[in-house]
Amino acid sequence: MFLMCGEFVMFDLKKEWRDIFLVILLFWGLSFTAFVINHISNGALNSYGLLPRHVSHLSNIAFYPFIHGTWSHLIFNLTSFTLLALGVGVNGVARLINVILLCWLFGSISVWLFGRISYHVGLSGIIYGIWGYLLIYGLVLRSIMSLIITFLVLVYFSSMIWGVFPFNYLVSFESHLFGAIAGGFIGYFLGKKDREKLNCHYDQKP
């Protein structure tokens, strides 16, 4: 029975990680496709960027993360997204999808409400959301794995902190700032919820 259980768990883990990589590949595929179309059409997709406080552009929340201005912008964002998404993926594909969607939604709405009147594009808002989530989630949950991930994120992505300040008017610091705030709140509430489950599990042990 133990071996059968072990095989079941291993199969489940393989499926989880396969689905996690599919989610990541979906973002790569959509971003590359949008970049190529935008390039050959001389920036026709730029109008699908998020333009704050313009009701006609509110629906662009669904599109603007996949639009990137330059090749380096695209590759840097996708690489950062992949590494951070893998950190969230430790808790399963459902958690990864939920964190991405929540950071995407709340970060984007905040940018639309409070951002500068300029087109905001790129994955950086979601990236900063995941970054903020991982930093706070590990500190709240305080499991060994979550703390290791938080430490690695803090060290490897330490320079991201400067992205939340308006040092460069060409960079959407609002996406970074509101994404990080949204991710931090999500990390706090989900970390607290998971911590309660963890404590309950330990309390039930004989």
* 3-state class (DSSP) for residue 90: coil
CB 96 within 8 A of CB 167: no
What pLDDT was estimated at residue 9?
40
What pLDDT was estimated at residue 192?
96
- Per-residue HEC secondary structure of 109-153 comes to HHHHHHCCCCCECCCHHHHHHHHHHHHHHHHHHCCHHHHHHHHHH
> What distance in Å separates the CA atoms of residue 34 and residue 67, rounded to the nearest whole number?
6
Largest CA distance in the chain: 67
Beta-carbon contacts of 185 under 8 Å, excluding residues fewer than 6 positions away, are: 106, 136
Domains of the chain from N-terminus onward: 2-204 (1.20.1540.10)
For each of the chain's 206 residues, which pLDDT tens digit applies? Answer: 223 333 334 447 888 999 999 999 999 999 999 999 999 999 999 999 999 999 999 999 999 999 999 999 999 999 999 999 999 999 999 999 999 999 999 999 999 999 999 999 999 999 999 999 999 999 999 999 999 999 999 999 999 999 999 999 889 999 999 999 999 999 999 999 999 987 765 555 55
The whole-model pTM stands at 0.91
What pLDDT was estimated at residue 1?
29
